[in-house]
């Protein structure tokens, strides 16, 4: 069952119908009865980094909703016209004002209940100076023991950090594909 957030056709404005298209599709879609446009709803891509320096990671305290006042890795929605790694680097700059050397792909978190996919890259910090943007109240480095685990904003951040510190202890970073089901 598709979420019924599409109520009117984006092309002609007519109220849509929710049904399975006649083209062999098997999922219910929002379909315009006037112009025939099929409106697909697809997951949003959230991109970010795990900025680290030695045994510490950079976390940002959110100054916006959702989860105002909670800690997170620098991340946000990917924009049109950018690659996944460009979006992750942009979000790190916007949220933390951190100078980084972009590293390899690190984690892929599917969250079907909210229609999002979170992708994180490792990023080595080049400086301990941060210049947080308007979405961030504070940007700070934490060791694993110092991470405010109960004050993390999102499950994907918690799961990514757990894997980061596990890999760090092993001395080798892997690639992590995780399904988060609520």
Return all residues near 105 (Cβ < 8 A) that are at least 6 apart.
119, 121, 175
Residues 105-135 have pLDDT tens digits of: 999 999 999 999 999 999 999 999 999 999 9
- Chain-wide mean pLDDT for the chain? 95
Residues 27-50 have pLDDT tens digits of: 999 999 999 999 998 899 999 999
Identify the pLDDT of residue 3: 60
Q: Return the structure tokens found at 21.
A: 């298209």
Q: Which helix (H) or strand (E) holds 16?
A: none
Identify the pLDDT of residue 143: 98
- Strands (E) across the chain are located at 17-19, 29-31, 38-39, 44-53, 56-62, 71-72, 75-77, 100-111, 116-125, 136-142, 176-179
Domains and CATH numbers, the chain: 1-41 (2.20.70.10), 44-179 (3.90.79.10)
What are phi and psi for residue 27, nearest 5 degrees? -115, 145
The torsion region of residue 91 among left (phi > 0), alpha (psi -120 to 50) and beta comes to alpha
Average pLDDT over residues 44-68: 97
């Amino acid at each position: 069952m598709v979420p019924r957030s599409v109520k009117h056709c984006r092309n002609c404005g007519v109220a849509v119908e929710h049904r399975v298209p006649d083209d062999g599709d098997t999922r219910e879609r929002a379909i315009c009865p006037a112009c025939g446009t099929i409106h697909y709803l697809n997951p949003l891509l959230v991109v970010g980094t795990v900025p680290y320096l030695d045994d510490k990671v950079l976390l940002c305290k959110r100054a916006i909703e959702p989860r105002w006042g909670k800690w997170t890795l620098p991340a946000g929605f990917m924009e049109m016209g950018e690659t996944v790694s460009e979006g992750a680097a942009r979000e790190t700059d916007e949220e933390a004002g951190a100078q980084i050397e972009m590293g390899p792909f690190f984690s892929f978190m599917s969250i079907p209940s909210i229609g999002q996919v979170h992708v994180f890259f490792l990023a080595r910090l080049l400086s301990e100076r941060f210049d947080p943007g308007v979405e961030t109240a504070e940007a700070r480095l934490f060791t694993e023991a110092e991470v405010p685990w109960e004050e993390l904003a999102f499950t994907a951040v918690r799961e990514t950090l757990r894997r980061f510190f596990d890999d760090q202890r092993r001395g080798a970073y892997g690639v992590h594909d995780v399904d988060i089901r609520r």
